[in-house]
Amino acid sequence: MSTGLELLQNISSKHSPEAFRQEHWVGTFPDYLDISCQQPGVNRTAYQRLYDMVMSYGTYKVENSKENLIRYKFFDDPDHGGEDAIFGLTKTLMDLVNVFKSAALKYGSERRVLLLHGPVGSSKSTIARQLKRGLEHYSWTDAGALYSFGWKEADGSITWCPMHESPLQLVPDAQRDSVREFVDTNRKAKVGEHEYPLEFTGELCPLCRYEFRERQMQYNGDWTKVVEDVVVKRIFLSEQDRIGIGTFQPKDEKNQDSTELTGDINYRKIAEFGSESDPRAFNFDGEFNVSNRGMIEFIEVLKLDVAFLYDLLGASQEHKIKPKKFAQTDIDTVIIGHTNEPEYRKLQSNEFMEALRDRTIKIDVPYVTTLSDEIRIYTKDYNEKRVRGKHIAPHTLETAAMWAVLTRLEEPKHHGLSLMQKMKLYNGKTLPGFTTDNIVQLRREAKAEGLHGISPRYVQDKISNALVVNPSATSLNPFMVMKELEGGLKHHSLVGAEEVRERYRQLISVVRDEYTDVVKNEVQRAIAADEDALMRLSSNYIDNVKAYTQREKVKNKFTGEEEQPDERLMRSIEERIDIPETRKDDFRREIMNYIGALALDGKKFDYKTNERLQKALEMKLFEDQKDTIKLTSLVSNVIDKDTQEKIDIVKSRLIRNFGYNEESATDVLQYVASIFARGDSKSE
């Protein structure tokens, strides 16, 4: 058997004809009534289906959240491997889903336009795209099944409803209560977290109304015979196939009119049917027609011409649209638009737009202000799988993300708190004197935080540029990216005021200083990574602290004599982590209490379990060893063999323990060496 034939058979085996027949079910109107009892979810409104779709993926709590924040797994984009995952924005997404829930329960939000408002590049389009793709996928599941209908013609063909309406809309008003009672009484299950009562309102679209009326005449008003001509089928929402998902983007006034929303006359069929007002001579293919029973996305909605806004108002408040030459037509769709700050300010200042403002629910979609979430945005695009042939040095994406987040934060009002410290608090770090309540308060004080600053797109563009403008480099490092970030500010069209540009440049210096501290610490740890030496130093320190706190003496392991605790040794370690003389007793008791608590649990003390002590020991050992390694010789042209061997050991530790490659490890060592050569050996 040929390889190609084998491949085709393998593909074919995964596509069951039986599954296809079940998915593309076709039946009668009575069959659909039975389905309505077995699967009540088929008759949900567009908002109910959207809300249940999001909730079907489940939720999880955000750890260490004082505000009881939860995440919706749907927005992690599990169906596409996280391709469109939304990082951060937890509060925003909670607000959005709460609106969906309110609308699903018909508390009034279903009669509003949802407006995603935020700066460029803040994930507004991504959220809308995720919702559209989610509805498409959900309609293929049993829980998300929905149905429409068509009319049998004399020639055996079927005229399908152009707006994919629910078959229950065929029920005349006078009989709807009895049908509602029948379905509610015989329903076998509920769908989602709510048992929605069956509510079907609205009239048939003009074409189906015409077909219905013609058959009423044919069958002398016998409704049961009319529905015998009805064919019900399962439908699947699809933007590509223009079923239940619509997207509208403003163009210039000359090339666009409101028929793009509500459909237009088919002039070729006027000769056949004789009138512009014959629904058979009309294309019900506007974006509102298409999006019935699903959702419509309005890109840059506030750029719409006034003529379009009238259609938008009716569609949101009354759930009706007005096709040319026809009466108002009922629709059921979720309307989501997005816009940026300048356009929204224009809306607020325009008194003629008051009706739209009154029918709008604004959801702020700010930039991410948590460093770890911003790093994830860039890691998704720049990783080993996506960037081949070039190593991304540690902290490269972190420094870019750090700068982007700093541009979005407002200066803290708290005295003595720097912008960098504020960012670290937001990222889950602890600072003396700050509790989770303080952090919540910091966020509340900065109401516009995240609605200004640098877009992730700008940073992505500069990372991309840094990757290609240094073709000979095997590694991309933070300095290459920071150079691109700073250089691009001169021509960045979204940074208008010079004082803003200057502030962004200063923040790059702040990030550079922070990066310097980080890599100095890493080099120090690599030099001091002698495990045996650290264990000996730790043991010596603990023995002295124990003797000090218990007012005992220490036995000198060389002479065997009893001596006073080595105060000089203890202070040389404690000073590395800024323990002042006045607090040394507290720190030493804290260490002994920690060791005692471990002992009660049957555990043995390990210096690695105490982050502050580990850092102090590593820095002490580094100070003791740095002169023997002669790191500063890296900035000279002459390195003796013994020193080179020691430097190679440090470099291998950087590669093994911190993720560097040969080139980036050499760069970092030379950078830190230049700092020490200038005498700037202070470390925090």
Q: Can you read off the two tokens belonging to residue 663? A: 């080139």
| Residue 312 forms part of a structural domain | no
CA dihedral sign of residues 7, 11, 17, 18 = positive
Looking at residue 507, what is its pLDDT? 94
Among 594, 617, 612, smallest CA distance to 531 is for 617
375 with 479, same domain: the answer is: yes
Q: What is the DSSP letter of 84?
A: T
496 with 534, same domain: the answer is: no
| Concatenated DSSP letters of 93-114 | HHHHHHHHHHHHTTSSGGGSEE
| Residue 447 forms part of a structural domain | yes
482 with 546, same domain: the answer is: no
Among 286, 242, 244, smallest CA distance to 266 is for 286
| Residue 496 forms part of a structural domain | yes
515 with 388, same domain: the answer is: yes
How many domains is the chain built from?
Answer: 2
Strand order through the sheet with 295-298 = 245-248, 295-298, 334-339, 113-117, 360-364
Looking at residue 211, what is its pLDDT? 94
Domain boundary among 580, 610, 640: 610
**Residues 6 or more apart from 182 whose CB is under 8 A from it?**
33, 37
Query: Is pTM, for the whole model, over 0.85?
Result: no
Going from the first residue of the chain to its last (684 residues), give the mean pLDDT of each consecutive group of 10, the final group possibly shorter. Answer: 66 62 83 88 93 94 77 92 89 94 92 91 92 95 93 92 94 88 75 72 91 93 92 95 92 74 90 87 93 93 77 88 90 92 78 78 92 93 84 93 94 85 87 77 84 91 90 86 90 75 92 92 78 81 88 77 86 85 88 84 78 80 67 58 77 87 87 74 42
402 with 383, same domain: the answer is: yes
536 with 499, same domain: the answer is: no
Looking at residue 634, what is its pLDDT? 56
382 with 489, same domain: the answer is: yes
CA angle 81–87–90, rounded 5-degree value:
125
593 with 485, same domain: the answer is: no
| Residue 600 forms part of a structural domain | yes
462 with 573, same domain: the answer is: no
| Residue 566 forms part of a structural domain | yes
Cβ atoms of residues 39 and 189 within 8 Å:
yes
Looking at residue 188, what is its pLDDT? 66
Looking at residue 76, what is its pLDDT? 93
Could you identify the residue written with the tokens 């084998």? 6
Is 158 strand, coil or helix? strand
Domain boundary among 519, 544, 578: 519
581 with 539, same domain: the answer is: yes
Domain boundary among 610, 640, 655: 610
587 with 489, same domain: the answer is: no
Burial class, 348, CB count within 10 angstroms (exposed 0-12 / middle 13-18 / buried 19+): exposed
**Residues 6 or more apart from 527 whose CB is under 8 A from it?**
621, 622, 625, 626, 629, 631, 650
Is 70 strand, coil or helix? strand
**Dihedral angle of Cα 541, 547, 551, 555, to the nearest 10 degrees:** -120
Specify the DSSP element, H or E, that contains 499: helix 498-527
Q: What is the DSSP letter of 123?
A: S
Looking at residue 682, what is its pLDDT? 45
| Residue 58 forms part of a structural domain | no
Alpha carbon distance 382, 388 (integer Å)? 10
Neighbours of 198 (CB within 10 A): 17
Domain hosting residue 574, numbered range: 530-610
| Residue 541 forms part of a structural domain | yes
The CB-side HSE value for 15 (13 A sphere, CA atoms) comes to 6
572 with 462, same domain: the answer is: no
Among 460, 267, 277, smallest CA distance to 382 is for 460
| Residue 586 forms part of a structural domain | yes
